[in-house]
Amino acid sequence: MLIGGLIVAAGLILLLDNLGIVRVYDIWRFWPVILIIVGVSKALEARTPGGQVWGAFVAVVGLVFFLDNLHIRIFDFEINDIIWPLAIIGFGVFLLIRAVDRKRVLEQATGGTISSDNSDLGIWAIFSGVKRRLDVQDFKGGEIVAIFGGVNLDLRHCAINGDRTVIDVNALFGGIDIKVPETWRVVMKGMGIFGGFEDKTVAPRPDPNVKIPELIITGAAIFGGVKVDT
């Protein structure tokens, strides 16, 4: 419905512009309002400090663009001089807060005990691609970061000794694809900001005689995507 409504609205605006009723340029000046609405809604819906901070940041960016389009200057700076440094600062603060959230999730998953072995997995793909296949019988999670790059991780030959483990994934203009065994239950706790988290696995049938290990996926996908499949 949202996509269909946007297409109808775009066609209506073009029609009115061609008929000389309205000027598209005048309407285009108000596009940052979309960022403001999305940011405020994200901040209100977020259940974690990281989501609230990022939602507020998106709203502030939209407000800066909106004021610039209206030729309202709060500071005597060009918008390009401040918007990209602010974006980098905001993303860094977001990652710091997400790290605190990940620690909290790890404490819940491990009963309050976190050892240095809980971050065995550490993959960074920056302007590059990483493809890795693991065969670990005591997989303890870790982190994956893809910035303008892609990561393909195969965990189908791994096992989790405990009840659950956590992988923190962060994709910025990148993609992360994780394959897991069919016997694992996947719990998505990540957040998509102009991006998405997709769980294509099928939950295993509950069996009181068989322990079902749980893989928790946290993190954020910003203009990127994270997919988990079997």
What whole-number distance in Å separates Cα of residue 218 and Cα of residue 187?
A: 9
pLDDT (0 to 100) of residue 119? 41
Length of the chain: 230
pTM confidence score: 0.57
Q: What single-letter amino acid sits at 228?
A: V
pLDDT digits (tens, 9 = 90+) for 6-30: 677 778 878 877 887 767 666 677 7
Distance of CA 14 to the CA centre of its chain: 33
The mean pLDDT values, 10 residues at a time, for the chain of 230 residues are 71 80 71 79 68 75 78 63 70 70 60 47 85 87 87 91 84 90 88 82 79 85 88
Long-range contacts of 14-20 (CB under 8 A, 24+ apart): none
For tokens 């956590």, what's the residue?
Answer: 166
The Cα–Cα gap between 165 and 152 comes to 19
User: What CA–CA distance (Å, rounded) separates 96 from 93?
Assistant: 5
Q: Check residue 127 and give its pLDDT.
A: 86
Closest CA to 150 of 172, 181, 120: 172
Residue 228 sits at φ, ψ, to 5 deg, of -120, 130
Q: Tell me the pLDDT tens digit for each residue of 173-195.
A: 889 999 999 889 998 887 777 77
pLDDT in tens, 109-123: 555 444 444 446 788
